[in-house]
Structure 1
Amino acid sequence: MEPPATAPVSGSARPGGRDVPAQTRGERKERTRRAIMDAALVLCEDSSLVALSLRQVAKEVGIVPTAFYRHFASIEDLGLALVEDSFASLRAMLRDVRRTDPDYTDIIDSSITVLVEHCRSRRAHFAFIARERSAGPPAVRSAILHQIELVERELATDLARLTDPDFWSTEDLGVLANLIVTLLVGTTEAILGARPDAEEVIAERARTQLRMLLVGSLRWRSSEHEESRRHAAVTPMRPGRG
Structure 2
Amino acid sequence: MRTLAQVTAEPVSRQERKQRTRQALLDAALELLAERAFANLSLREVTKRAGIVPTAFYRHFASMDELGVALVEESMRTLRRMIRSARSNPRTYTHIIRASVRTLHEHVRAHEDHFRFLTRERYSGSGPVQRAIAIELKLFSSDLAVDLARFEHLREWNTDDLHMMADLIVTAMLSTVVELIEARPRDEETDALIVKTAEKRLRLIFLGVPNWRVVR
Instruction: Return the alpha-carbon distance in structure 2 between the equivalents of residues 174 and 22 of structure 1.
Output: 48
Is the counterpart of residue 134 in structure 1 residue 123 in structure 2? yes
Instruction: Return the alpha-carbon distance in structure 2 between the equivalents of residues 159 and 55 of structure 1.
Output: 46
Q: Tell me the equivalent position of 2:180.
A: 191
Q: Match of 1:211, as an amino acid? A: R
Question: Gaps (5+ residues) in structure 1?
Answer: 1-20, 226-242
Give the alignment partner of residue 88 of structure 1, picking from 71, 74, 77: 77
Q: What RMSD, in angstroms, separates the aligned Cα atoms of the two structures?
A: 1.7
TM-score, with normalisation over the residues of structure 1? 0.80
Q: Tell me the equivalent position of 2:13.
A: 24
TM-aligned CA deviation for residue 218 of structure 1: 4.3
Instruction: Return the alpha-carbon distance in structure 1 between the equivalents of residues 16 and 208 of structure 2.
Output: 51
TM-aligned CA deviation for residue 221 of structure 1: 4.2
CA contact (8 A) 1:183 1:206 kept: yes
Q: Tell me the equivalent position of 1:151.
A: 140
Q: Match of 2:198, as an amino acid? A: A
Higher RCO structure (Cα 8 Å, ≥6 apart): 2
Is the counterpart of residue 59 in structure 1 residue 51 in structure 2? no
Instruction: Return the alpha-carbon distance in structure 1 between the equivalents of residues 131 and 83 of structure 2.
Output: 22
Which moved further from structure 2: 165-174 or 142-151?
Answer: 165-174
Instruction: Return the alpha-carbon distance in structure 1 between the equivalents of residues 133 and 50 of structure 2.
Output: 25
CA contact (8 A) 1:168 1:220 kept: no
Instruction: Return the alpha-carbon distance in structure 1 between the equivalents of residues 138 and 111 of structure 2.
Output: 21
Q: Match of 2:191, as an amino acid? A: E
Q: Tell me the equivalent position of 2:209.
A: 217
Report the CA distance shift for 1:137/1:165 in structure 2 as closer, same or farther (over 3 A).
closer
TM-aligned CA deviation for residue 183 of structure 1: 0.2
Instruction: Return the alpha-carbon distance in structure 1 between the equivalents of residues 41 and 55 of structure 2.
Output: 16
Instruction: Return the alpha-carbon distance in structure 2 between the equivalents of residues 166 and 137 of structure 1.
Output: 38
CA contact (8 A) 1:167 1:220 kept: no
Helix, strand or coil: the match of 1:57? helix
Q: Please list the CA deviations of residues 188-234 of structure 1 after superposition, one character each: whole Å capped at 9, or x if unmatched.
A: 01110113221221111010111122122344546x53xxxxxxxxx
Instruction: Return the alpha-carbon distance in structure 2 between the equivalents of residues 136 and 210 of structure 1.
Output: 28
Q: Tell me the equivalent position of 2:197.
A: 205
Q: Please list the CA deviations of residues 45-102 of structure 1 after superposition, one character each: whole Å capped at 9, or x if unmatched.
A: 1111111111101111111100011111111100000000000011111112212233
Helix, strand or coil: the match of 2:88? helix
TM-aligned CA deviation for residue 176 of structure 1: 0.8
Is the counterpart of residue 122 in structure 1 residue 95 in structure 2? no
Helix, strand or coil: the match of 1:99? coil
Report the CA distance shift for 1:166/1:186 in structure 2 as closer, same or farther (over 3 A).
closer
Q: Please list the CA deviations of residues 125-154 of structure 1 after superposition, one character each: whole Å capped at 9, or x if unmatched.
A: 001101111222311101101111111111
Instruction: Return the alpha-carbon distance in structure 1 between the equivalents of residues 96 and 147 of structure 2.
Output: 11
Report the CA distance shift for 1:162/1:54 in structure 2 as closer, same or farther (over 3 A).
same
Q: Highest CA radius of gyration, 1 or 2?
A: 1
TM-score, with normalisation over the residues of structure 2? 0.89
* 1:174-189 pair list within 5 angstroms: 174-189=163-178
CA contact (8 A) 1:180 1:210 kept: yes
Give the alignment partner of residue 33 of structure 2, picking from 11, 33, 44: 44
TM-aligned CA deviation for residue 164 of structure 1: 3.3
Identity in percent = 44
Report the CA distance shift for 1:166/1:64 in structure 2 as closer, same or farther (over 3 A).
closer
Instruction: Return the alpha-carbon distance in structure 2 between the equivalents of residues 208 and 127 of structure 1.
Output: 24
